[in-house]
A = this chain, B = another copy of it.
């Protein structure tokens, strides 16, 4: 375990524990350096991410403070896989199921070749899944993945978490993601599977997800019921 990541996690727990209550003064960087027996540079690196996700904010000259909204924000993790994997995001407190509506292997279109930076002859999976949370339809996913990058996908894996398969079986780490969020009218599929009425909007998320090695592996579109999902984004101003 990296030292700065370890310290970051300990400090995060202390904020959640209210060892450092919301709104209070956070320990000085020099004190933390002493406590963890490290240099101030390492402490600063540990604080970087806590600042970025808005749990604490530094005020030059004055000190560092715990944000008053720290407890509301602390659930909202910034690790990419938590944004991305439905199972991981909801699996603790809810029953997450997947119903595979369609699953085939085919050659990619021009658009798909460009999005996944693959070759014309490379096969892809074409998957349509309904995600079900606590027995209610939650989201409809259309996903394309290259066969040679994510081998041996089958209906059993699709019934659970593809992300868990990638991380635990293939031993690959999820890297970055690029998302585009919009609102749309419901499609026939949305009406059928998400029980949308004709005037119920859907929240549409198009994304390209890459492995840590920067190889794109997922090109997908997800439709969420408008009354079941919203997306939070924190835009930090103080980049350091």
A contact residues, total (Cβ < 8 Å): 54
Find out whether the CB atom of B181 lies under 8 angstroms from the CB atom of A231. Answer: yes
Find out whether the CB atom of B176 lies under 8 angstroms from the CB atom of A201. Answer: no
Q: Is A185 interfacial (CB-CB < 8 Å)?
A: yes
B-contact 0/1 string along A167-200, CB 8 Å cutoff: 0000001111111111111000000000000111
Cβ 8 A contact of A236, one of B69, B117, B176, B233: B176
A235 to B224, CA, bound (A): 20
Q: Is A17 interfacial (CB-CB < 8 Å)?
A: no
Find out whether the CB atom of A238 lies under 8 angstroms from the CB atom of B199. Answer: no
Find out whether the CB atom of B236 lies under 8 angstroms from the CB atom of A182. Answer: no
Question: In the complex, which residue of chain B has the Cβ closest to the Cβ of A67?
Answer: B214
Q: Is A80 interfacial (CB-CB < 8 Å)?
A: yes
Known: A198-B199, A199-B199, A226-B201. A237 touches B183 (CB 8 A): no
Number of copies: 2
Q: Is A68 interfacial (CB-CB < 8 Å)?
A: yes
Tell me how far the C-beta of A225 lies from the nearest C-beta in chain B, rounded to whole angstroms.
9
Q: Is A232 interfacial (CB-CB < 8 Å)?
A: yes
Find out whether the CB atom of B175 lies under 8 angstroms from the CB atom of A238. Answer: yes
Find out whether the CB atom of B183 lies under 8 angstroms from the CB atom of A54. Answer: no
The chain A residues found within 8 Å of chain B, CB to CB, are 45, 49, 52, 54, 57, 59, 65, 67-69, 73, 78, 80, 83-84, 117, 173-185, 198-204, 210, 212-214, 224, 226, 229-240
The 6 lowest CB-CB distance pairs between A and B, nearest first, are: A201-B201, A182-B230, A175-B237, A183-B183, A183-B203, A183-B226
22 residue pairs bridging A and B, Cβ less than 8 Å apart: A45-B240, A59-B213, A68-B117, A69-B178, A78-B239, A80-B236, A174-B237, A175-B237, A176-B238, A178-B235, A179-B233, A181-B231, A181-B233, A182-B203, A182-B226, A182-B229, A183-B201, A183-B226, A184-B226, A201-B202, A212-B238, A233-B233
